[in-house]
Structure 1
Amino acid sequence: MTDSRNNLEQVGTAGLLQAVSHHLGHDMAPEWRKAAEATPRHRFLPDRIWLSSDGDEFALCDRGHDPERWFAAAYADGPVVTQINDGQEVDDLSDALPSSSASAPSIVFQMLELLGLEPGMRILEIGTGTGFNAALLSHRLGDVNVTTIEIDPDVAELARANLTANGYAPTLICGDGSQGWDAGAPYDRVMATCSVREVPYSWINQCRPGGVVLTPWCDDWSHGGLLRLTVTDDGTATGRYSPDSAFMLMRTQRLDLRLFRDVVLDEHVPTESTTTLDPWAVADSAFETQFALGHRLGDLWYAWHHDPEVEGVATRLWVATTDGDSWAAVDWDGAENTAHYTVWQHGPRRLWEEVEAAHRWWLDNDRPGPDRLGLTVTPEGHTAWLDHPANGWPLGRPS
């Protein structure tokens, strides 16, 4: 039985590493291959996981009832949801919201490569999750050089058990990762396994000059992008993005706004106008387009409303500020080759004009994608920039 189980682990790991190398476009570095072979992924997954296919709702996969599907998910190059709704049970899985997961291995190793780790370096990981990342880091750097922090007590307990069972003992803290862990600072590297809408300055402050902060990025308009910042002697950090990697948002930065509860109220009296800008060109466009627009629009978010039960309206695009103070709605009547769309706006800001200005900026600058965008973080805030830090604007509101 033991030989059979070991063989399954070896075959599963070998196939997974082949998929990761294909994603990376080159063979994995020997040190990471050794770490992966010593740390079989399935050993870090709980018996109950949630899987989806083609964007459908999540379905529970229980190892005891469906071991083959569970094991296949463990060694597929894809994310595995390990907790929903912050650990709260739900009666209807259509209400399931992922709150913790094991990231796709290809993204895991892509991030590990971007860190540029060397022996003896000390690292702080934000978001322990299953403990798999921390195990790989401990294998590479040694337990004493790895600190990992997890906000959810149940997730932290499971990670600690997984790490112990597999012979690893990094420093594991149950706490708010947005605060970092000052007791272990300074670090050579800080990495997050959750996305952020703003980079906590504590991460910069706890990283050595010349050190690297690596985090998934998620602004309110778009999702995806890996941000790699280098910390300078004056306590600032600046860097660029790698494209397309979606992670769950850090819990302390979640946006809990509902259009018809918090934003659009019955007593609002909006102004009416028209626009020639196709709403799909800004809110249902390619990832690269939305990523760039998000860096110009800063604090704006959107939501589609199909069949809103409004006469003459087939689809409505809502745009709102993250404080819920202003909103806009753009209506499509369902006709083909529409030249004009009706716009409704309320609040102190004219949000659709801001969207139009951002789109013109994107066109005027040859349609930049994530590879041309960067971010500088200081104690005072965030500055987004195009091509060079000197060509920047405050991230919250474009100049």
Structure 2
Amino acid sequence: MEDGALTSDWLGAFNAVPRELFVPDLMWPGKAKGTGTGQGDALDRNENPEAWFEAVYSDVSLTTQWDDGQHWGTGKGRTPTCSNSQPSMVFSMLAALDVQVTSRVLEIGTGTGWNAALLSERVGPSNVFSVEVDEENAKAARERIESAGYRPTLIVGDGFEGYREGAPYDRVLVTAALTEVPHRVIGQVRTGGVIVAPYATTYGGEGVVRLTVQRDGSAVGPFVSSSAFMRLRQQRQKRRHVREYLGGKKWPADGVQSMTSVSPELIGDWLPMFAIGLQTQGVFPWAENYDDGSYTLWLRDTAVTSWATVGYEPGREEFEVYQSGPRDLWDEVVVAYLRWDAQGRPGFEQFGLTVDGETGEHTPWLGSPDHPLRIVD
């Protein structure tokens, strides 16, 4: 586990609530840091217990469900939809939550049940409320949590709505990435209460935000780390195929050609993607990769009005651009990137977020809430 993730106040809970109790016999371990991304091959506890235990006690995430339960067998599905999260991420988020012995805690996303059990050990089961939208996951988590000796309040429902019956809460922990912090959930938290959640931009990149609820009902706070969680099911977005942007024509269709000296490689890492995402609205990337190491970076808008492509070839210093529609998407992305670069390339922890208590408007900022980021238009 990464140094400092498991603080002394969570050590007792970690020892009392073994991770192995919350991992099904069949799972797909993530890859160790520095060895790539994605999931490895399936591990079955009954067939290879030694490898299964080694994965469980490694600092990697463990995928436990694919495609909302519509995938069976030992192969990989299309999209991972439930996991037992990486321990260093679990405990860094719990540390950011800063629970007290009497804290009343709402968890959004029960998952495999490990977080709910850890919280129950720390603050008592009567103070823990956990919502899970997937009925099968909720049933399995309940069995694991109760087998471990805890009886928190477990709800099958829409986490986007929170759980009003248990409010007001002192703390809220979200275990799926949000593109919008639910206004109803903020309203269920006491003034001075804390919400810890992964927050993902439309463009890409994601960070854990720690919001404190204010007297006026707003929620304000900094990002505390990077993250990479599955999206909250209720906030998933279905992307339209590139062909729908071309209007039935072959690429480059009516795209206007230009050249750029800004390499797509510069904006492909998680941090610059996050910084770009905080400054842009409704634009997202997709890379079409080729065998020779080149690729086409596609940019599209969620309104399906505009698109852009940038052709990357290794060793080149200028790259061909095509843009179409009322928005020049590549120009917007470049402006956002260059602003971040000119500011000294600030990291995740230098950004923050304010969610308005009345309108629900999300305003990202840099350094302090007094310095909101300007949205590129």
TM-score, length basis structure 1: 0.86
Structure 2 gap segments, 5+ residues each: none
SS of the aligned residue for 1:93 comes to coil
State the 1:181 CA deviation. Answer: 0.7
Q: What is the root-mean-square deviation in Å for CA atoms of aligned residues?
A: 2.2
**Residues 20-35 of structure 1: pairs in structure 2 closer than 5 A:** 22-24=3-5, 28-29=7-8, 31-35=9-13
From 288, 292, 298, give the equivalent of 2:271.
288
Q: Determine whether 1:233 maps to 2:215.
A: yes
Post-superposition offset of 1:319: 0.8
Q: How does 1:132-281 map to 2 (within 5 A)?
A: 132-267=114-249, 268-281=253-266
Q: Distance in 2 between matches of 1:91 and 1:64?
A: 14
Q: For residues 133 and 227 of structure 1, what CA distance do their matches in structure 2 show?
A: 18
For 2:147 and 2:159, the matched residues in 1 are separated by: 24
Change (3 A) 1:57 1:233: closer
Partners of 1:336 and 1:270 in 2: CA distance: 25
Question: Within the alignment, does 1:324 sit opposite 2:309 as a pair?
Answer: no
> Match for 1:366 among 344, 348, 368?
344
Distance 1:151 1:56 in 2: 24
State the shift of 1:57 in Å.
5.4
2:368 to 371, 385, 388: 388
Runs of 4+ with >4 A deviation: none
Q: Percent identity?
A: 38
**Aligned equivalent of 1:336, options 312, 315, 322:** 315
Distance 1:262 1:297, change over 3 A: same
Range moving further from structure 2, 255-264 or 366-375: 255-264
Deviations 1:246-298, CA, capped at 9 Å, x for gaps: 1111111112114335444424522222222212112x23x332221221123
Query: Does the residue aligned with 1:120 lie in a helix, a strand or coil?
Result: coil
In 2, the alpha carbon distance for the partners of 1:100 and 1:326 equals 33
The answer to whether structure 1 residue 39 and structure 2 residue 17 are counterparts is yes
Q: Which runs of 5+ in 1 are unaligned?
A: 1-18
Give the 5 Å matches for 1:49-88. Answer: 49-53=27-31, 54-55=36-37, 58-88=40-70
- Decide which structure has the larger Cα Rg and report it: 1
Is 1:302 aligned to 2:302, yes or no?
A: no
Does the Cα contact within 8 Å between 2:66 and 2:77 map onto a contact in 1?
no
Q: Quick check: 262-271 or 38-47, which moved more?
A: 262-271
Match of 1:8 in 2: none
Structure with the bigger percentage of helix: 1
Q: How does 1:84-163 map to 2 (within 5 A)?
A: 84-89=66-71, 93=75, 95-163=77-145
CA-to-aligned-CA distance 1:351-389 (integer Å, 9 cap, x gap): 111112112211332222212211100142101111121
Amino acid aligned to 2:261? T
Mapped contact 1:152–1:174 kept (Cα < 8 A): yes
Question: Does the 8 A contact of 1:257 with 1:324 survive in 2?
Answer: no
User: 2: distance between equivalents of 1:106 and 1:314?
Assistant: 35
Equivalent position of 1:347 in the other structure: 325
